Amino acid sequence: MNSLIDSSVLTVFVPTFFFVSATPGMCMTLSMTLGMTIGLRRTFWMMWGELLGVALVSVAAVAGVSAIMLNYPAVFLVLKYAGGAYLGYLGVQMWRSKGKMALYEPSKTKVEFRAKELLVQGFVTAIANPKAWAFMVSLLPPFIDSEIALAPQIMILLFIILSIEFLCLIGYAAGGRTLRNMLRKKSTLKTMNRIAGTLMIGVGVWLATG
């Protein structure tokens, strides 16, 4: 690894990306909300979609595709508005203690949220955020050495990015699950649904207007 990317470069890259990834954002807030409502295990499906989106954005940033995307923001509109509206809809349903993601009494039957829907949700949230593209454009290229093979460098940096992102997503989802357990002792399911619904609506608005 050191023959491809200098250790001094990794010393700067790893903490920089960890700080950015760990900072609360759309994907982390979504992970926490899902961890709170559907639990850590099922939230992994959203994480796989989000990581796929992050990988796509990262590779596109290095390849220069992102320059086209940023110069033509209309490309994002359908994904941004449709994705934001969908998350907002889920949030409203949760706020009303209805829908697939709301918390229910153990005696009530709950409709399972399909893995495919969670996968798409994570993917769209990751790729429909122009700020994510702008960040990757500014972060990745300076760490690429044009004098050595490009593909191995991208693979190494991408592995680091996805590993850090995955750990942060797990941390937020686990935090959401812990919050759910704490609130169950002190509050009602209706209150928990409203808290989670408000967070989900916030992520939807954030996605649509970001």
Q: Can you give the pLDDT at residue 105? A: 54
* Positions in the chain whose pLDDT score sits under 50: 1-2, 106-109, 111
* Region class of 201: left (phi > 0), else alpha (psi between -120 and 50), else beta: alpha
Q: Give the whole-angstrom CA distance, residue 159 versus residue 167.
A: 12
What is the reported pTM? Answer: 0.74
Retrieve residue 88's tokens: 């907002």
Q: Can you give the pLDDT at residue 191? A: 74
Task: Give the max Cα distance, the chain.
Answer: 63
28-55, pLDDT tens digit by residue?
888 998 998 888 998 999 999 999 999 9
Q: Can you give the pLDDT at residue 2? A: 45
Q: Can you give the pLDDT at residue 50? A: 94
Backbone angles phi, psi at 129, to 5 degrees: -105, 105
Contact 119, 49 (CB under 8 A): yes
97-119, pLDDT tens digit by residue?
676 556 555 444 454 568 888 99
Residue by residue, DSSP assigns 121-190 as: HHHHHHHS-HHHHHHHHHHSGGG--TTS-HHHHHHHHHHHHHHHHHHHHHHHHHHHHHHHHHHHHHS-HH
